[in-house]
Structure 1
Amino acid sequence: MPRRIQIVVISAVLSLMLFIPALPSQARDAEKQDKTAIVVASFGTTVPRAVEAINNIVDRVEKAYPQTEVRITFTSNIIRSIWRKRQIEAQQWLDQGIPEDILYVKNIISTIGDLREEGYRNIIVQPTHMFYMEQSHDLNSYVRALGSIETMKERWRPFDSVVMGRPALGMPGARYNYHEDVAAAVQTLAADAQLAASEDAILVYMGHGNQHWSTGIYADTQREMRRAYPDVETFIGVVEGHPSLQDVLDQLDATTRKKIIIKPFMIVAGDHAVNDMAGEDGESWKSVLEKSGYEVQPVLQGLGSNDAFADIFVDHIRDTARDHNLVVQ
């Protein structure tokens, strides 16, 4: 064989040998580029025992989508700053059972940035907020901004899609009827109604509310609770905005029962539940209701600890994935 042909053949063989081993690695990289990651976005809490409710939601999501990467972020700047200070004495908190991803929790930009560095180009952000109010609005602004980044060359775009699911009780828009989301959420609260019925008590929920947004979501939910559980008198008030505790007291005037089961209408039984709802000072809901002649039994358990309620977010992730042609499994 002429020398020139030998050189060409050897060169071709060497090139093939170099190319073949690269195929599996390239295939893995391409496969990872197509994968979708889930970010569970919670308002957060600083109360260690309340973390369990957030962990339960994350656990339910991971169980439903075991092959999909799941991360957590807190949307509250104040709560993240408190956990950042606690990192100075990290072992103390870890010894109390606080997971590392809570102790070292990051904001939404850092969390999504980490996923991008690891090769994920499709992100579903699932808020664990109750309804689409200030926190969800601002979170959606981040999500839309990150998902809209354009580059001169298409292949350098950081993400193919960054999208957000809807909160527990839904959000404005024509795609999903929030009344149906409210009805689905109410179905998960049967145990609360049963507890109140067994105690011949009124069921009072304390939500967070918002001073900047006015919605009828709490009135809608209260009405749906009474429709679903007609034997239980249910009232929902909020810490901020309306309906206030005074609004609840005004409605209670029409009742004859004198015992109240009071629970947080929040994902976690955090600071608001411990202090504003069940605290011993004179301004807490428990104290005010007791002064009004009611026997009050607080239940310090967030809705995130309720498996059926936590699964609402699992379902909303599935809806979002379907709407955007993403794969979660």
Structure 2
Amino acid sequence: MKTSIKKVVIASMAALSMLGMGMSVNAYELNPEVKDVTPALREASTVGVWTHENPAMKNAPNKDAILVMTFGTTFTDTRHKTIDAVEKAIQAANPNVPVYEAYTSHIIIDRVKAKEGIIKLTPEEAFAKLKAEGYTRVAVVSLDVIPGMEYTYDSVVTKMQVNNFKKISLATPLMYFQGTEGEPDQVVDFLQNLKSQFPKCGPQDAIMIMAHGTPHPGNAYYSVIQARINQLAKTDPIFSHVYVYSVEGRPNINDVIPQLKEKGYKHVTLMPIMMVAGDHANNDMAGSDPDSHKSQLEAQGFTVSTYIHGLGENANIRNLYVERANEALADLQK
């Protein structure tokens, strides 16, 4: 198998008939000697926007919708400023295609209903609603930041719907491609857009950007983010002050503190790189408990400022999510 990645359509009708599907995706270009593209090989070589066509519904009329999947939040204010704002931006960019929403966290769905009387749909419920309303083609947009455990869930729950729609596409998360073989470096794109919310830094000021962290191998993206930060610092001084860490993965705060001390920083600004500024941002990062990141840093002699805003509040980041939605919709409408 070649390792170059580019926009290709791998044609193998025999393999397609085994799955009852057709795809138009970014994929590894298979070696020409591969004559029988098995369903397993096709799925394994699929990268980028995933698209599925259901031949059993080929004669059904096209009626398109966008479904935004998000973990959700119980924090009402940040929901309006982030999740709702991103969905509105996607809708504004595609005024003729309605935007629907699904929460992947059942716990959050229950809490929002109990607290606010608002009913949020699960992905399964949202797909059922779309089918009942006659939609035949659905572009699914994930508000995940990296392709970790949550994005895997989005992918699986989407693929379970393949027999219910004429065509389904699944967008990539905020960061996916890393500049391999001519593909965009979306990690650098993210950082350049995130920079708009960085404070000015003097020699003793550092910025710690807080990710979620995951046991999924996708956690390795955080190491890539730090590597790109270090690379960008060679030409843009602001990045020489920036360190990534996570709540539930590596690197964590204890990995970063020795680096801050080595560089002689005295003041640290903490900011989340999560869609919403929810429990992790308000409590784990900025809370008053002794084990919060703010308290831990203060105990080590640093003065600490907190920037409690989710990524969805940043217009530049919202535009990146609009791009992801547009990519999925473009593949859906081919």
TM-based fold match above 0.5: yes
- Give aligned pairs, total: 272
Match of 1:132 in 2: 147
Q: Relative to 1, partners in 2 of residues 1:184 and 1:107: Cα closer, same or farther, differing over 3 Å? A: same
**Which of 282, 290, 293 is the equivalent residue of 1:274?**
282
Aligned residues of 1:196 and 1:202 also touching (Cα < 8 A): no
**Counterpart position of 1:94:** none
Residue of 88, 103, 107 corresponding to 1:78: 107
Confirm or deny: 8 A CA contact 1:129 1:168 kept in the other structure.
yes
- Segments of structure 1 that go 5 or more residues without pairing to the other structure are 1-31, 91-102, 150-157
What does the per-residue CA deviation read over 1:182-209, in whole Å, with 9 as the maximum and x for residues that have no partner?
Answer: 111112112233x142796211011111
Q: Does residue 220 of structure 1 match 2:236?
A: no
Distance of 1:175 and 1:77 partners within structure 2: 39
Whether the aligned pair in 1 keeps the contact of 2:206 and 2:260 (CA below 8 Å) is no
| Partner SS for 1:322 | helix
Indicate if the aligned counterparts of 1:208 and 1:238 stay in contact, CA closer than 8 A. Answer: yes
Note if 1:250 corresponds to 2:250: no
Residue type of the alignment partner of 1:228 = L
* Distance change in 2, residues 1:85/1:271 (3 Å): same
1:75-111 CA distance string (max 9 Å, x none): 1122112113235xx3xxxxxxxxxxxx211000111
170, 173, 183: which one pairs with 1:164? 170
The code of the aligned residue for 1:224 comes to R
Q: Could you report, residue by residue, the CA deviation over 1:103-161 in whole angstroms, capped at 9, with x for unpaired residues?
A: 211000111111111111111110001111111101111111101x2xxxxxxxx3111
Contact residue 190 and residue 317 of structure 2 kept, 8 A: yes
Match of 1:240, SS state, is coil
Partners of 1:116 and 1:199 in 2: CA distance: 57
Q: Contact 2:169–2:331 at 8 Å: present in 1 too?
A: no
More helix by share: 1
CA offsets, 1:222-242, max 9 Å, x none?
A: 232343354231111111121
Give % identity.
26
* Letter of the 2:276 counterpart: V
Q: TM-score, normalised by structure 1?
A: 0.77
Provide the TM-score with structure 2 as the length reference: 0.75
**Counterparts of 2:195 and 2:125, CA distance in 1:** 38
What is the CA deviation profile of residues 269-318 of structure 1, one whole-angstrom value per residue up to 9, with x for unaligned ones? Answer: 00110000000010000000111111110010001110110111111122
Residue aligned with 1:236, SS: strand
- Structure whose alpha-carbon radius of gyration is higher: 1
Say which is worse superposed, 183-192 or 273-282, in terms of deviation.
183-192
1:106 alignment partner in structure 2 = 121
137, 141, 145: which one pairs with 2:156? 141
* Residue 190 (structure 1) aligned with residue 198 (structure 2): no
Q: Which residue of 2 aligns with 1:208?
A: 212
Alignment counterpart, residue 62 of structure 1, candidates 68, 87, 91: 91
Q: Tell whether the 8 Å contact from 2:208 to 2:242 is kept in structure 1 after alignment.
A: yes
Alpha-carbon shift at residue 163 of structure 1 (Å) = 2.0
- Counterpart position of 1:116: 131
